[in-house]
Amino acid sequence: MARLNDEVGALLQEIADLILLTGGDAFRARSYEKAARAVGGYHADLATLDAKGLRDIPGVGTSTAGKITEYLSTGRMAKLDELRAQVPPGVREIMAIPTVGPKTAALIHRELGVSTVDELRAAAEQDRLGDLPGLGEKTAENIRHGIDQLRSGGGRALLDTAMELAEEIVASVGALPECHRCAYAGSLRRMRPTVGDVDVLATAEDSRPLMDALTRLPFVTEVLAAGPTKTSVRTSRGLQIDLRVVPPEDWGAAMVYFTGSKAHNIALRARAVKAGLKLSEYGLFRLTERGDRGSEGEKIASRTEEEVYAALGLPWIPPTLREDRGEIAAALAGELPDLVTVRDIRGDLHTHTDLTDGLAPLEEMLAAAAERGYAYYAVTDHAPNLAMQRMTDEKMLAQRDQVRALDRRYRGMRVLHGTELNIDRDGEVDWPPAFLAGFDLCVASVHSHFRADRDVQTRRLVRACENPHVHVIGHPTTRMLGRRQPIDVDLDAVYAACARTGTALEVNASPERLDLGDEQIMAARRHGVRFAVNTDAHATTHLDNLRYGVGAAQRGWLTADEVVNTWSLTRLRQFLRKRPAG
């Protein structure tokens, strides 16, 4: 189930969006937006805080604390209800379309009377959007793509939302004395970036206590189906949960089947058929002939996944590789990659503090990083061209002095002073070379001009790679899952530039980004590119998102040696001594 902090943060963000949508004060909207980020990233559970504790959260004042208290006691926020009543529900849905924010939704509603997503699509197809101020020539095309993205992702949850829910269910069901084993499967186990529903598998002789426990969980809002082998429920987060209970001796075959993917399972079944076998969720069977049709005979493997794969002449294949993208051929050839793991990561190279848009001071971020056992950790607050962050040379140099003073104080962890630069439309970054030379490392990211054409986007990223002071390209495609499409860029040209210049590409672990994605990682590694798996943490709790970035890296077939922040500090520093491209 989602954290209470995230739930309240989403409500405060909705207030901010609705203020803008209804023509309210932009400063008030920004205050609610800042409070939403602060609440979502705060380390303590809101339910444990009194009024003073709530006001101690950065960005939460007396008024906002009162609204949080109101929600905790009544389950409602009167201010939010008031704003919702002023806006048709369809207009609120329009705000969820990638590329359409509250200001654009308000403009379209006011000028064209559009109140639903279907009406907006019709307006785009009728070329009624082009004359509206500030929307640009590509607006209709972008909105159509955004609507398609919204519709295709309908009902899908981000990885962290699905994971938190699945882990709570597994813990609750798995704690029952009747339950022998319990784990999540499906696309969640394969660490896909979004999840349509959650598959949970358990073993027991008597399934009834397990099924009853699932239906009684507090976040279950509807029981869709209930039976001895499968129960399906819907939760308050909109996700469907399918709990399947199988005999203990069939655990392995069921895990293979329900983990998927469908394409991987089809390939396994085809291999079984060639060997005169049949593979199903119940096990791997030797076929016996009855006339011209085969039927199940002796069960030869089902207890563990390893047994099932071995009986098919294969080593166990990690779930993150099970997409029928060459993993079976690699397994047969003994060429499965030794995938990078969370344990391999020695440090985080992209994080923020409250000096810019982070929520925690430097000392808190360092202490939380040290608790993870990191050997090194980079602080990379935003640079001045992202004007809203109000960075100055003086502020950055003062932080550098603070970093140097705190270096090694946290369990011997080396603290690196860096920055996240802004790649402008022409590929330039914020500071001149002499200033950039003072940083231990520089991450450079696109934060603007998302709708520039393909040639512009490609040139700007290639130029950033060619900058001798840029070590990592952050969240390279800029995508925000379900909210913003990737920029239009020739990624092969960017991969080639990274390989030529020794610039790493980031696998951003934020569940909203997971950028680069797995297929792009696979393409980039064919160019010999190196990668950095970073959290882009803006709060101490965000450091826990590392596992999602590692999941994406595994789906892209990455080994530890291909990820620069698995390296020793000595080897990392050699990488950071980047030379100009020749």
Q: Do 500 and 376 share a structural domain?
A: yes
Q: Tens digit of pLDDT per residue, the chain (582 long)?
A: 456 888 888 888 889 888 887 888 888 888 888 888 888 878 788 888 888 889 888 889 899 999 999 998 888 899 988 888 887 776 777 776 766 777 777 778 777 877 777 787 787 777 777 667 766 566 666 777 677 665 555 567 899 989 999 999 999 999 999 999 999 999 999 999 999 999 999 999 999 999 999 999 988 888 999 999 999 998 877 789 999 999 999 999 999 999 999 999 999 999 999 999 999 999 999 987 654 444 567 899 999 999 999 999 999 999 999 999 999 999 999 999 999 999 999 999 999 999 998 888 999 999 999 999 999 999 999 999 887 768 899 999 999 999 999 999 998 999 999 999 999 999 999 999 999 999 999 999 999 999 899 999 999 999 999 999 999 999 999 999 977 889 999 999 999 999 999 999 999 999 999 999 999 999 999 999 999 999 999 999 999 999 999 999 999 999 999 999 999 999 999 999 976 554
Give the per-residue pLDDT at 291: 41
Give how far the C-alpha of residue 447 lies from the chain's centroid of Cα atoms, to the nearest Å: 18
> Domain with 303 in it: what CATH number?
3.30.210.10
The Cα–Cα gap between 470 and 5 comes to 35
Q: Do 399 and 318 share a structural domain?
A: no
Q: Does some domain include residue 183?
A: yes
Q: What is the DSSP letter of 430?
A: S
Coil, strand or helix at 186:
helix
Q: Do 494 and 512 share a structural domain?
A: yes
- H helices of 62-185, in order, are 62-74, 78-85, 89-95, 102-112, 117-125, 139-152, 159-174
Determine the residue type at 281.
E
Determine the residue type at 178.
E
State how many domains the chain has: 4
Q: Which of 332, 355, 370 lies at the terminal end of a domain, its last residue?
A: 332
| Model pTM score | 0.83
Q: Which helix (H) or strand (E) holds 153?
A: none
Q: Do 496 and 430 share a structural domain?
A: yes
Is the Cβ–Cβ distance between 173 and 213 less than 8 Å?
yes
Q: Do 179 and 144 share a structural domain?
A: no
Residue 522 backbone phi and psi in degrees, to 5:
-60, -40
CA-based nearest residue to 520, from 193, 115, 98? 193
Q: Do 505 and 368 share a structural domain?
A: yes
Q: Do 493 and 452 share a structural domain?
A: yes
> Domain with 10 in it: what CATH number?
1.10.150.110
Q: Does some domain include residue 322?
A: yes
Give the per-residue pLDDT at 105: 79
Q: Does some domain include residue 59?
A: yes
> Domain with 537 in it: what CATH number?
3.20.20.140
Q: Does some domain include residue 337?
A: no
Q: Do 26 and 134 share a structural domain?
A: yes
Give the per-residue pLDDT at 156: 79
Q: Which of 308, 332, 356 lies at the terminal end of a domain, its last residue?
A: 332
The Cα–Cα gap between 110 and 106 comes to 6
**What's the distance, Cα to Cα, between the start and end of the chain in Å?**
52
CA-based nearest residue to 365, from 405, 418, 415? 415
Q: Does some domain include residue 581?
A: no
Domain extent, residue 177, equals 157-246
Q: Do 268 and 207 share a structural domain?
A: no
Q: Do 559 and 530 share a structural domain?
A: yes
Q: Does some domain include residue 582?
A: no
> Domain with 235 in it: what CATH number?
3.30.460.10
Q: Does some domain include residue 144?
A: yes
Q: Does some domain include residue 233?
A: yes
Q: Which helix (H) or strand (E) holds 218?
A: none
Q: Do 105 and 30 share a structural domain?
A: yes
Coil, strand or helix at 387:
helix
Q: Do 281 and 239 share a structural domain?
A: no
Q: Which of 274, 300, 332 lies at the terminal end of a domain, its last residue?
A: 332
How is the chain split among helix, strand and coil, in percent rounded to 5?
A: 45, 15, 35
Is the Cβ–Cβ distance between 362 and 403 less than 8 Å?
yes
Give the per-residue pLDDT at 537: 96
Give the per-residue pLDDT at 294: 46
CA-based nearest residue to 579, from 501, 519, 521? 501
